[in-house]
């Protein structure tokens, strides 16, 4: 049967929307395991922030909406951990929370209260830190155009650098600040790239493993900064961080992302 132009247009539109729907349902984001507990911390913190503003000021500057968004994000992550929510739904909840957080900041900063009320300033900073922590723990999945033949050996160097960094922190500090997760992620990436070099792992698998490393690296840097150790006075630690950062950037440069 020959279709005329008027018949074809609706069918083309249906096909386009169908493809878009399928793409939106399969779009994924890597979720770092601590995100569930971190979202619970954020939820509790927004309750404290909202209650304080409610008790001391005529306006809460959007803190009520922020509390509700944080609660919805934690619920989505909790359901995801139970296998009854998708990564796409978690991503949607994060975008909503991000928008509400921006609205809250836009409303409260012009008020001048963050300069005059030290308690409120502390609550704001704690909330901001937790929000950033959540953002680091939810990483969008990568796609790779190609993998350099040098990537497997570079990932081995990253694995070794991460191991030395973790060992140093373990021996000299009360916390390893997420370097253990980074070491494990680097090890898994190296294993994945080794399998890829043997033809037993696909680029998609390597991309997923790199996302884990990317998230672990950013989370490590976040925790180090929070502890006041980023570019601190410990020369040995600074050198190990620089070596790990160099190795991470080298691996990243050898894994070319799709446009």
Q: Quick one: which of 259, 193, 248 has its CA closest to 219?
A: 248
Instruction: Classify strands 255-257 and 144-147 as parallel, antiparallel or unpaired.
Output: antiparallel
**Band (203; pLDDT cuts 50, 70, 90):** confident
How many whole angstroms separate alpha carbon 188 and alpha carbon 192? Answer: 6
pLDDT beyond 60 at 28: no
Cα-only R_g, the chain: 22
Half-sphere exposure (CA, 13 Å, Cβ side) for 67? Answer: 16
Question: What is the pLDDT at residue 58?
Answer: 94
Give the number of other CB atoms < 10 A from CB of residue 252: 18
pLDDT in tens, 141-185: 556 778 899 999 999 999 999 999 999 999 999 999 999 989 998
How many whole angstroms separate alpha carbon 235 and alpha carbon 250? Answer: 23
């Amino acid at each position: 049967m020959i279709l005329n132009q008027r018949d074809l247009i609706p069918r083309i539109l249906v096909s386009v929307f169908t493809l878009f729907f399928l793409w939106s349902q399969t779009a994924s984001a890597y979720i770092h395991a601590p995100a569930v507990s971190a979202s619970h911390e954020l939820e509790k913190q927004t309750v404290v922030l909202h209650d304080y503003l409610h008790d001391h000021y005529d306006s809460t500057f959007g803190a009520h909406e922020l509390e509700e968004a944080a609660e919805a994000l934690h619920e989505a992550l909790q359901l995801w951990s139970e296998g009854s929510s998708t990564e796409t739904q978690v991503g949607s909840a994060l975008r909503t929370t991000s928008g509400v957080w921006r609205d809250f900041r836009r409303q409260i900063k012009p008020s001048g209260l963050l300069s005059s009320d030290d308690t409120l300033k502390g609550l704001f900073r704690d909330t901001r830190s937790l929000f950033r922590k959540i953002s680091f723990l939810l990483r969008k999945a990568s796609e790779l155009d190609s993998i350099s033949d040098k990537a497997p050996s570079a990932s081995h160097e990253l694995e070794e650098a991460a191991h030395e960094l973790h060992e140093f922190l373990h021996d000299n500090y009360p916390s390893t600040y997420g370097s253990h997760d980074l070491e494990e992620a680097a090890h898994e990436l190296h294993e994945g790239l080794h399998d890829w070099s043997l033809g037993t792992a696909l680029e998609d698998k390597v991309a997923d493993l790199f996302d884990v490393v990317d998230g672990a690296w950013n989370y490590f840097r976040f925790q180090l900064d929070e502890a006041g150790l980023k570019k601190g006075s410990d020369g040995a630690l600074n050198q190990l961080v620089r070596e790990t950062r160099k190795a991470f950037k080298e691996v990243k440069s050898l894994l070319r992302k799709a446009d």
